[in-house]
Structure 1
Amino acid sequence: MLQKTRGIALSYIRYRETSIISRVYTEEFGLQSYIVNGVRSAKSKNNRIALFQPLTLLDMVVYYKNDRDLHRLSEVKTSYPFQSLPFEVTKSTIALFVTEMLNKVLKEEAGSPVLFKFLIDSVLFLEQAQTNYENFHLAFLLKLSFYLGFGPESAREFENQLREHSVAFLPDDAMEKALNILLRMPIGTPIDLSRAARNELLDALVAYYHVHIDSLGEVKSLPVLREVLG
């Protein structure tokens, strides 16, 4: 049955000689995998494989059957062509990290319009922002944790949960204040964090996700993010 849905591209793998299997988080159906034929062929028109780069926002018409693991696309186009996110080193590095985390934590289940809206709004902020996006990844992970069911109510609760699992995290007053701002204020709220403090908080956040998601595993993009953003 043909269905319309919006989606956010997360990743893809090569499939056979000219095709890919793309993972897309959709508004209607949650996490889905789609076979996309011919996009790696020299004859492929309009560089269609670019549609499946990390965090690309999509409008799709799909063949959907709820008893299948792999689905097919009838139509696909981007709903918002990016002008900065794939081309600016800082933004593209953040996108790589965010996409890896989403691939690890989003599950194949029914769509969640509320979560989808948060993801869309967050991606659009990162694409459009000209300043105050250096802490985007920190605010994003904190706010995402609420949609996943384990968001902390305060910096103190965050610290206590890590301590209960033998994770050393002892923020000073400035970092605790920054953490509360990240928790309670919109993404993009200016926060004064040193490079060292940003790295420490990033490591604590990844540890926090490890505490709550046993299958998280190694976050391969983390060293690059530390180096670029810090």
Structure 2
Amino acid sequence: MLIKTEGFVLKNKKYGETDSMLTIFTRKIGKINAIAKGARKPKSTFLAGIQPFCYSDFVFYKGKSSLYNLSQCDAREIFYCIREDLDALTYGAYLLELVEAVTNEGQTNNRLFNLLGKTLSMLANKDQKDFELQTVVRAFEVNLLAYSGFKPHVHSCVNCNQSNFKQIKFSHEEGGILCPKCFTVDPFASKISETTVRLANYLLNKDILEIQKLKVNEALNNELKLILKKYIMVHINKYQFKSLDMLDKL
């Protein structure tokens, strides 16, 4: 059975002497693992479209095993500029790791697929005037969580649904903000400012293309970054991202 679909290459690993094992986030059949036979040969027709970040049209066939076999690959966008810039490469690798972590094999997610495409395009053109890299990454994180079923509850108290209060804490375990009356629900809840909560809500309600020039105070961005980092670790159950070590050094 032949399957035609577009997709983003999340990972490319050596498989045997001349083959590659690919992890691809496709529009039609979700995340899959596929073997690209002969892809490591110098004259392989697959080379251009199977590197990480590549957005390509794929044709797969599937036999009796659970693995797909790549039959044809035509690159639409290779995002070469991402590979030429250290910041873009590192943050781009982080986005791919996040997508791989939250997606289940064979389960489609068109909103996340479109979000990844828009964000990679922005990273590839990040040298444009007034582009705010950190704002874009925070927006990607919070919307990835929302599109994957882990949307943080930031419009009212996650425990009692009250919304009129000044002091706020964020409970990673409960999945959202707590009002003073509910602080005892999670004694390990983190302090969070009202402004950071408003920022999270704003990013959740805007298309990522609309916020790429949004300037956010560094301290505010860092507070949301730390909140989301722990939230991602708790709810995605992934505690180590290879790219995060590099991100912390940038």
Give the TM-score, by structure 2 length: 0.77
Asked whether 1:96 is paired with 2:93, we answer: yes
Asked whether 1:51 is paired with 2:74, we answer: no
Which of 230, 240, 244 is matched with 1:222 structurally?
A: 244
Structure 2 Cα separation of the partners of residues 102 and 72 of structure 1: 22
Q: Which runs of 4+ in 1 moved over 6 A?
A: none
> Cα offset for 1:146?
1.4
Structure 1 Cα separation of the partners of residues 242 and 155 of structure 2: 26
Maintained 8 Å contact 1:154/1:183: no
* AA of the residue aligned to 1:180: N
* AA of the residue aligned to 1:182: L
Give the TM-score, by structure 1 length: 0.83
* AA of the residue aligned to 1:222: L
* AA of the residue aligned to 1:96: A
* Larger relative contact order (CA 8 Å, sep ≥ 6): 1
Structure 2 Cα separation of the partners of residues 138 and 61 of structure 1: 34
Structure 2 Cα separation of the partners of residues 163 and 39 of structure 1: 44
Q: Which residue of structure 2 lines up, in the alignment, with residue 176 of structure 1?
A: 197
Deviations 1:50-91 (A, max 9, x none): 5333321111111135x6321111110211232422211111
Q: Which structure 2 residues correspond to residues 28-107 of structure 1 after superposition, within 5 A?
A: 28-41=28-41, 43-45=42-44, 48-64=46-62, 68-107=65-104
Structure 1 Cα separation of the partners of residues 148 and 157 of structure 2: 17
Secondary structure, aligned partner of 1:69: coil
Unpaired runs of at least 5, structure 2: 159-168, 175-185
Q: Which residue of structure 1 lines up, in the alignment, with residue 143 of structure 2?
A: 143
> Cα offset for 1:138?
1.2
> Cα offset for 1:128?
3.4
Structure 1 Cα separation of the partners of residues 157 and 76 of structure 2: 39
Q: 1:61 to 1:135 in 2, by over 3 A?
A: same
Q: Name the Cα RMSD after superposition.
A: 2.5
* AA of the residue aligned to 2:84: F
* AA of the residue aligned to 1:191: K
Q: 1:197 to 1:50 in 2, by over 3 A?
A: farther
Secondary structure, aligned partner of 1:134: helix
Q: 1:167 to 1:57 in 2, by over 3 A?
A: farther
Structure 2 Cα separation of the partners of residues 53 and 138 of structure 1: 25
Unpaired runs of at least 5, structure 1: none
* AA of the residue aligned to 2:207: P
Q: Which residue of structure 2 lines up, in the alignment, with residue 162 of structure 1?
A: 172
* AA of the residue aligned to 2:230: A
> Cα offset for 1:38?
2.1
Maintained 8 Å contact 1:54/1:95: no
Q: Which residue of structure 1 lines up, in the alignment, with residue 206 of structure 2?
A: 185
* AA of the residue aligned to 1:178: L
> Cα offset for 1:156?
5.8
Q: 1:69 to 1:199 in 2, by over 3 A?
A: farther
Maintained 8 Å contact 1:178/1:193: no
Asked whether 1:119 is paired with 2:116, we answer: yes
Worse overlay, 150-159 or 76-85: 150-159
Maintained 8 Å contact 2:48/2:75: no
Maintained 8 Å contact 1:163/1:169: no
Q: 1:134 to 1:226 in 2, by over 3 A?
A: same
